[in-house]
Chain A
Amino acid sequence: MKRSPLLSVAMPPHTHFGISVAEIHLNQLLALIPAAAGGVLLWGLPGLRTLLLAVGTTVVLEWLTGRMMKRETSVLDGSALVQGLMLGMLLHAAAPWWLVLIGALLLVVLAKQFFGGQGGYLLQPVLLTYAILLISWPGQLNTAWRLGGLATAAQPIEPLLAWQSFGPGAADAYPLGNLLLGLQTGGVASGMIGLLALGGIYLIIRGFIAWRIPLAFLGMAFVAALALHLGDATTYAPPGLHLFSGMLVFAAFFMATDFSCAPVNPWAQVIFGASCGLLAILIRTFGSYPDGTVFAVLLMNLVQPLIDRVHPPVIGVEVASR
């Protein structure tokens, strides 16, 4: 008798929608590329150098750590590519090579693999890395000081810092249109407001990120800044300046939405986003860092598991509510 063929067995479902983690990351990469290109246009070769250095070292380190842990490599899921690029975009064009290298090392080893890799971390790795760098080498990350030598169309000092240092009159040097185009001092591409928003909207339309988080984030930031500004227009910067400067938009679309450390339930997402926005404005206004967005998001990352308990009850069974 003919032997019957060996069948493949697996648990249901036996079919799949077709989406993969790599696809999500590739789309994020796609969404970042316009802003990254804008940054390279603005900062020229030094900008490109920072980006390539960050991406290259991150990817290589991700591969190396995978090898060392004898795990299947996680490079192919694209997360290192995206996160490396985001790190490069946050750092400024004149960042010394060793700073970028340390950044990549922190990003891959400390912020990601220590927590269990993609999906395991509690704090957005790029933000965590940036925060550590910012605290450890404040001078190196001081754009006003470091970028003075590079010739660009951007004002030599960050808009928010200018406002804080020179008062309301400084805002005139920063027309909102220019800020939208990215003509501001800061990371290589973290200030490319318009292009970043475009990428973010692309991701929302394709369903790769949750729209509620950036919307609540930016909406709340706007409202909070507006309230402060209406209270005292000479001390507090106008909402437009807040929204269009620094890394607020970058964080709202690309970092606060990082799945691993953002809630998944609709109202929890709104609460999370809004809290990020509020905190960012508060830290910017009352804290000692001109751009406190990074700390706002990291703080909210910490309480995300609690926020995510806000969800409608399961249908069909009584569950002891706790």
Chain B
Amino acid sequence: MKAERFFGLRNPRIEMNDWQGEICTLPPPAKVRLPLIHPDGTELEPLVAPGDRVVRGQPVATAPDHAPLHAPIAGEVLESGPLYTPAGEQTRGLELSMAEEDLWARPHTLAEPDLATPDDVRALLVELGAWTWATPPAPGDEAPLPAVDAVAVLAIDQEPEIAVQRRFLMELRAELSRGLSALARVAGNARLVLVVPESLQDEARGAFPDVELFQVGSDYLDNDWRLALARIAGTGNLTRAAARQAGLLAITAEEAACLGLSLEEGQPGTEKLVTVSARSLPQPVTVRTRMGTPVNHLLAQLDIAVEEGDRVVFGGRLRGEAQFDLDAPVTRETDGLTVIPAADAYCPAEAPCINCGRCVHICPVRIQVNLVSRYAEFALVEEAFQQGAHACIECGLCGYVCPAHRPLLQYMRFAVRRYHEALAAAPTTDEPAGPEAPEPDSEPAGESTPAVTA
């Protein structure tokens, strides 16, 4: 990660790194663990019980309107205690132990859909496992959805050190290509937009001449999914609900590739690409591993030693989540694994804001972070919302520049979360005094959001 500062005259710029290097496939772990929760917060119901034998690709848990979870390995279902989401929330889990033979389930057949209504596209994407932005509306979100106008395929990464989605424009082009043609078939009249970084635009244009490209720059913020989608939608509005209202669906390049595999071969996605960075590696490496792989296994395979006091992060340095347990499993959202030596692990402090304004200047959505963070600090949740705290895209830059080392991202999240809790507790018939009701799902994935009827 490179951050430059031209004297003090402009904000630090964080450039995305262009890591190359072979993608190696790791041998499957002896055990996988699957948190039974969808990234949108919906709990999944297990379809198997301890002692059952499963084969790779077999659905093992599901929830209505959501993609089922598939067994990433063939083996036996074990008793499992609770697991934790990457953000540290407790959830039910499934644990599978590897069988001698990694048998695939019989290819499942998907009926070639009859795309009469736009909802079918959505439903299909959901069934195929697209989870990020295609999720169905929250209950109570009654506004009728417009026709799907565009499906955005995000071949951009969320952190400077992570190179997962971009790999699908490089060596994994064939997989993405299969995914794109599958998508084109099912997307009906919707446009297909491939979001690519500038540096890979030639490769993208050469490989996918028929697909509409949308280029983003090399800056960290250019590559933010929400910001990129807002620019495609032309709404300037960033919440997930708003993107849906603009008729925009989005899936990552990796999901698109999964979808291709699923449609062409009848094999659901059971693998995940993860960029691992650690001091002992000369540069971050991207590996392919099974979903549910414990961190331990990844580290052992790559010969990375973790010492007392080191920090192990799912994701990257700017917005990743620190893990407390080396058994924590790789999930569908885990694009990166970063091991930070104890000496480099930055710890924010509970310090007063000196009002220097750096956070305000760097915030891409122009939140008055100095004010909002102080509101959050003293639990003045309504005030935080009058300042638009719920527009936060959680880029982490405010915390990155704060000279007082305040945990700013944490304050922002806290404010958003408390507000949703307050809304959920209040009777829905009453208009909450003061702030506008926020978009029901404008908050981070990982928590179910209350429905708000205004």
Q: Are B409 and A314 touching (Cβ within 8 A)?
A: no
Interface residues on A, range: 35 or more
Q: Are A314 and B321 touching (Cβ within 8 A)?
A: no
Bound-complex Cα distance A311 to B370 (A): 13
> Looking across the interface, which residue of chain B has its beta carbon closest to that of A9?
B322
Inter-chain CB contacts under 8 Å: number: 197
In A203-224, which residues have CB < 8 Å from any B CB? 204-208, 210
> Looking across the interface, which residue of chain B has its beta carbon closest to that of A320?
B436
Q: Are B354 and A260 touching (Cβ within 8 A)?
A: yes
Chain A nearest Cβ from B326, distance in angstroms:
5
Quick one: given A9-B311, A13-B399, are A314 and B318 in contact (CB under 8 Å)? Answer: no
> Looking across the interface, which residue of chain A has its beta carbon closest to that of B439?
A317
Chain A nearest Cβ from B384, distance in angstroms:
11
Please name all residues of chain A whose beta carbon is closer than 8 Å to the beta carbon of B306 when the two chains form the complex.
Answer: 4-5, 7
Please name all residues of chain A whose beta carbon is closer than 8 Å to the beta carbon of B405 when the two chains form the complex.
Answer: 16, 20
Judge whether A6 is part of the interface by a CB distance below 8 angstroms. Answer: yes
Judge whether B390 is part of the interface by a CB distance below 8 angstroms. Answer: yes
Q: Are B309 and A8 touching (Cβ within 8 A)?
A: yes
Pick the contact of B320: A12, A120, A314 (CB < 8 A): A12
Bound-complex Cα distance A128 to B132 (A): 54
Q: Are A205 and B388 touching (Cβ within 8 A)?
A: no
Judge whether A166 is part of the interface by a CB distance below 8 angstroms. Answer: no
Judge whether A68 is part of the interface by a CB distance below 8 angstroms. Answer: no
> Looking across the interface, which residue of chain B has its beta carbon closest to that of A4?
B326
Q: Are B318 and A12 touching (Cβ within 8 A)?
A: yes
Please name all residues of chain A whose beta carbon is closer than 8 Å to the beta carbon of B166 when the two chains form the complex.
Answer: none
Pick the contact of B322: A7, A15, A259 (CB < 8 A): A7
**Nearest 3 interchain pairs by C-beta:** A207-B8, A264-B357, A314-B388
Measuring CB to CB, which residues of chain B are less than 8 angstroms from any residue of chain A?
1, 3, 5, 7-9, 12, 230, 236-239, 242, 296, 306-313, 315, 317-327, 338, 340, 342, 344-348, 351-358, 360-361, 364-368, 370, 385-388, 390-391, 393, 396-397, 399-401, 403-405, 407, 409-410, 434-436, 438-439, 442
> 24 A-B residue contacts at CB 8 Å?
A4-B296, A4-B325, A7-B323, A9-B324, A10-B311, A11-B348, A11-B399, A12-B313, A12-B322, A14-B317, A15-B318, A15-B400, A16-B399, A20-B405, A21-B354, A24-B356, A207-B8, A259-B357, A265-B368, A315-B236, A316-B242, A317-B237, A320-B386, A320-B434
Measuring CB to CB, which residues of chain A are less than 8 angstroms from any residue of chain B?
4-17, 19-21, 23-24, 116-120, 204-208, 210, 259-262, 264-265, 311-320, 322
